[in-house]
């Protein structure tokens, strides 16, 4: 293999596990900027003796970096990883020793395991005779939407790769499957307005809470009527209303988290919600879906190399979760999610299956070494 020569799977696995454990010890949650800076410095130092270009960036106090083998903002291939994690108890930031083939801890799945593997692949490829046109983007705000990381680097710093692979795990059986579709997300506020009155004389007012509750069956019917092959889903995530218990509520709000497969499905939901009497509808946040052509030469190239490494079929699949891939899609850059085998993202037991690391690294290395891809290379 071009990057790893005759290195044994055990040696390669141990290298990546060690780096993953180091990264997990940095408590890189949004409320700990010093830990994020320290973790990013660790990533930069990892490449200190490699023939690479490391560019540091910051936007709205959100740091990021890009490691490039050729210094180009438009490489043939870009690996993407995020260093930030969701909060958790203290014990989750002390990675446990590998037991029964698993390394557990916050971020081992989402996504410091994938990031560590990509770091090793990029560094090893930088030491080959003919390094590919490859970069690694490391951001620190994916869990907060990615607007000051991936979006900023693409839209304002001019990064424009031909293809992107983010190392997010599938959290699904068939970990080497390639995720080429992800749902979009839209956050919607449904608001009702009432007329306040004393609680002793509720007939003199109009309760916004009652209006909102009365509309709920109609809201529910919007999503039950979905007929898409990959259905639109809703989570009723936040509800609030009224100012005090002894007053008829003047206002009430229900916030929805809607996951949808394409723009038509999103528009159908918004249109139907706006037809419900008594409610105002406001979109308060949006992330585009990802729908990378399964016949894209890079997608087929990754699938082919993965199958060559593991010796069995690799599927192209879809996943309802969003990721920074949506920023690449909005920017016109095709991409996929492809990570090592890992489970329990955001959960108390989050873990990386360490035996998946050699196959994962070798697949990425072979895929990168053969870039660029075109229709004639399929």
Residues 153 and 42 in one domain: yes
The reply to whether 4 falls in a domain is: no
Nearest Cα neighbor of 63 from 33, 85, 87 is: 33
Is the CA virtual torsion 7, 11, 17, 22 positive or negative?
negative
Residue pair 249/243 in contact (Cβ under 8 Å)? The answer is: yes
pLDDT by residue for the chain (378 residues), tens only, comes to: 457 767 899 999 999 999 999 999 999 999 999 999 999 999 999 999 999 999 999 999 999 999 999 999 999 999 999 999 999 999 999 887 777 899 999 999 999 999 999 999 999 999 999 999 999 999 999 999 999 999 999 999 999 999 999 999 976 666 789 999 999 999 999 999 999 999 999 999 999 999 999 999 999 999 998 777 899 999 999 999 999 999 999 999 999 999 999 999 999 999 999 999 999 999 999 999 999 999 999 999 999 999 999 999 999 999 999 999 999 999 999 999 999 999 999 999 999 999 999 999 999 999 999 999 987 666
pLDDT given for residue 97 in this prediction: 72
Give the total number of structural domains in the chain: 2
- In this structure, is residue 47 part of a structural domain? yes
Instruction: Please give, one letter per residue, the 3-state secondary structure of 219-288.
Output: HHHHHHCCCCCCCCEEEEEEEEECCCCCECCCEEEEEEEEEECCHHHHHHHHHHHHCCCCCEEEEEEEEC
Quick check: pTM over 0.75? yes
Coil, helix or strand at residue 296: coil
- Domain contains 35: yes
Q: Of the candidates 11, 150, 110, which has an alpha carbon nearest to the alpha carbon of residue 339? A: 110
Name the 3-class secondary structure at 332.
coil
Are 117 and 246 found together in one domain? Answer: no
pLDDT score recorded for residue 2? 59
- In eight-state DSSP terms, residue 356 is G
Are the CB atoms for 69 and 135 separated by under 8 Å?
Answer: yes
Could you list the residue range(s) of the whole structural domain that residue 271 is in? 184-287
Instruction: Provide the 3-class DSSP secondary structure of residue 19.
Output: helix
Q: How distant is the alpha carbon of residue 12 from its chain centre?
A: 25
User: Under a CB-based contact definition with an 8 Å cutoff, are residues 283 and 270 in contact?
Assistant: yes
Nearest alpha carbon to residue 335 among 319, 351, 324: 324
**CA–CA separation, 351 and 12 (whole Å):** 18
- Give yes or no: residues 264 and 306 share one domain: no
Q: Is the peptide bond before 160 cis (omega within 30 degrees of 0)?
A: no
Do residues 251 and 129 both lie within one domain?
no
Structure tokens at 332: 């016109």
For residues 226 and 162, state if they share a domain.
no
The SS3 assignment for 102 reads strand
Q: Report if residue 2 sits inside a domain.
A: no
Last residue in a domain, options 265, 287, 309: 287
Q: What is the DSSP letter of 217?
A: H
Give pLDDT, residue 1: 46
From the list 20, 180, 13, 4, the residue with the least C-alpha distance to 114 is: 20
């Amino acid at each position: 293999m071009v990057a790893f020569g005759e290195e044994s799977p055990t040696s390669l696995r141990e290298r990546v596990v060690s780096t993953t454990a180091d990264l997990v010890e940095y408590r890189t949650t949004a409320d700990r900027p010093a830990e994020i800076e320290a973790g990013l410095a660790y990533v930069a130092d990892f490449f200190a003796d490699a023939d690479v270009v490391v560019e540091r960036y910051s936007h709205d106090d959100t740091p990021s970096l890009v490691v490039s083998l050729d210094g180009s903002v438009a490489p043939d291939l870009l690996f993407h990883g995020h260093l930030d994690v969701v909060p958790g108890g203290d014990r989750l930031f002390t990675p446990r020793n590998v037991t029964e083939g698993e390394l557990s801890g916050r971020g081992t799945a989402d996504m410091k395991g994938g990031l560590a593997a990509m770091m090793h692949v990029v560094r090893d490829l930088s030491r080959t005779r003919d390094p590919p046109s490859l970069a690694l983007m490391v951001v620190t705000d994916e869990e907060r939407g990615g607007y000051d990381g991936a979006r900023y680097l693409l839209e304002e710093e001019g990064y424009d790769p031909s293809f992107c692979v983010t190392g997010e795990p599938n959290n699904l059986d068939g970990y080497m499957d390639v995720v080429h579709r992800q749902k979009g997300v839209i956050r919607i506020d449904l608001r009702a307005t009432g007329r306040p009155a004393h609680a002793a004389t509720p007939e003199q007012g109009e309760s916004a809470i009652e209006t909102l509750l009365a509309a709920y069956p109609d809201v529910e019917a919007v999503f039950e009527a979905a007929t898409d092959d990959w259905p639109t889903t809703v989570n009723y995530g936040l509800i609030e209303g009224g100012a005090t218990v002894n007053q008829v509520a003047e206002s009430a709000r229900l916030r929805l988290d809607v996951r949808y497969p394409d723009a038509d499905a999103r528009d159908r939901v918004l249109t139907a919600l706006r037809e419900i009497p008594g409610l105002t509808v406001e979109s308060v946040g949006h992330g585009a879906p990802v729908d990378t052509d399964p016949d894209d030469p890079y997608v087929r190239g990754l699938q082919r190399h993965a199958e060559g490494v593991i010796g069995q079929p690799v599927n192209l699949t879809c996943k309802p979760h969003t990721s920074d891939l949506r920023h690449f899609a909005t920017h016109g850059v095709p991409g996929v999610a492809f990570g090592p085998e890992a489970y329990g993202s955001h959960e108390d037991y989050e873990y990386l299956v360490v035996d998946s690391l050699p196959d994962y690294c070798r697949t990425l290395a072979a895929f990168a070494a053969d870039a660029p891809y075109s229709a004639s290379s399929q």
